[in-house]
Structure 1
């Protein structure tokens, strides 16, 4: 292609002045306007054009744990910046612990890890505190010991109640405006029947110290945040199941999916697909489990949705099927028959196999026998508006849980293992 000649005008060669007086006056006005605009531009603050301000970072506690790691993954997948609070362990710095739990590289560009100890009345170093005061508008608190019956109640209560209060005080006066507090739907304790989202302490008895202290923490955090002008949203999941990070230290209990693995092992030895096994529970009661990915999606949405301001939300499976239906789905997926859920009154004398299974499920036996129905109308309304679909426990989901259990979590990402917990 031939070169196209370019006609240049020498920079020092002025254009001839126009002859017509009107054109000369117009040109003079144009030059005066240009000069005035240059002066005004020089005096005005310098601005960068087309700058997009990224959303402020979201602070997450408990990032090496079950729900916290899933929350961080959800935020990173959504393009958000995350500040994770964590402690180092011998031979494993905090940054590497969080990265291992989340399943990302330690140098992920949108993941910042800050050393912090929520057991300390001053959980943040001064330099880190100053930085977080400028950077964090939303916090999602997922940290907490999930032991049902702790040996040292003072330490346990301090971790659940005093820790988040200390962190709220440390972040007060900065940009922090919203605090999403991950609790548990089982702050209802031993209640049965319908439990509303706006109900807290109604004089209920509790199964264990975990439930009691989680309710204490909700109350204490709301009071502390109210004094500081920070908006609190409480997220109450049911029993959470899914892939837990190896960094969770064997907790929360992998009980539900351990049960699935045990059934699968029994099914392989069953003669003619027949596995006579009665599990003591409440056959018609809802099976209150919810996948961890749904809990993470809900927590992220509720943490910042304006409609969630000040609210409490049950994050549960929509219209959960009864226990007997879930056991039927498990039996169908494993190719056995003879599995039944029975109430304790009609259970009779257990077989040796049934006694072994009962011992395995002992930690959750009271939950299996509890007929409680969590109203989630407020959560569903907000989450639907945020584009978070309802979680359903159908044959497809049960099939995926069986696959996850049989896989052992080895390929669940980042070396995670299967787990469940009462949130």
Structure 2
């Protein structure tokens, strides 16, 4: 039975993408999701809910237990048959934690991607390898980072960025060697633009929680000129609809798409949005970056009380902007 192979289910983006793929694919095409055994219960629950929304989806989500960090994806004897059946690969699985240790991030994001690429290269009927990267492979590159940019001598804020960069370097190397590829680089993904639904309350949500835990007048530490730096947040539904649409186009073959906001809000504008959403009058208090990060790191319970990590601070003084001509 022909199938689409997907990693990253039952994650935030993976679950939403499976729904779109089911509805756009012929009924004889299944979606095979590689899952870790510890996520079996949640994956079954998500798959059950998706399949029962429409009769045309029934019986089309197949869950197979494995691990992208293991040779052969941990699939054993099922590996060869799955390669034979696979027409398309969507690789979303990754470690997204900004504070992740390098060894673990490298094993999942780099070695894991190599293993999925190896799987894809053995699929004789493969039409496309669809890879979800991130805009932040740019690291702290100063200036405009385009969809054709990759190796720019950039330095990285954390091991998440670094290992996603190395993973995309490998994906682009295979693309140049002949593998049919499309690459998608989202900005900072937040909840659905219509419902607000999200699976994780990290990143910008930490600022919202911090403000909501204060009285009607809230203090907000800021760093530097808040009108100078931007925060490139994009809603989940935009990212999913963009991937679902672009991945179906012949013209998207061997292209990179930055799924970014072409006019992102400045830090100052974002604080104003948060103030309105939380109904707080926000008083910005300027701090040097070194003091802000030191306070979060060394003052007892500072990160627990604020919900803001030292890693997140860098994204409010981010020197990079992103073009998205291919996407638009």
TM range (shorter): 0.7 to 0.9
Where do residues 3-402 of structure 1 align in structure 2 (5 Å cutoff)?
Answer: 57-78=3-24, 81-89=30-38, 94=40, 96-101=41-46, 104=49, 108-123=58-73, 125=75, 128-151=78-101, 153=103, 155-171=104-120, 172-227=122-177, 229-242=178-191, 243-245=197-199, 254-266=202-214, 269-270=215-216, 274-280=217-223, 282-284=225-227, 285-340=229-284, 342=286, 344=288, 360-380=308-328
What SS class does the counterpart of residue 312 from structure 1 fall into? strand
Aligned residue for 1:186, secondary structure, equals: helix
The runs of at least 4 aligned residues of structure 1 exceeding 6 Å deviation read 355-359
Higher mean alpha-carbon deviation, 132-141 vs 286-295, is at 132-141
How far did residue 294 of structure 1 move? 1.5
Q: For 2:49, what is the secondary structure of its paired residue?
A: coil
Match of 2:194 in 1: none
Separation of aligned partners in 2, 1:299 and 1:60? 13
Structure 1 residue 366: deviation in Å?
A: 0.8
Q: Structure 1: which 5+ runs fail to align?
A: 1-53, 246-251, 381-423
- With the length of structure 2 as denominator, give the TM-score of the two structures: 0.80
- The number of equivalent residue pairs is 304
Instruction: Check 1:282–1:231 CA distance in 2 against 1; reply closer, same or farther (3 A cut).
Output: farther
Separation in structure 1 between the aligned mates of residue 306 and residue 288 of structure 2, nearest angstrom: 11
Structure whose CA Rg is larger: 1
Unpaired runs of 5+ residues, structure 2, are 53-57, 192-196
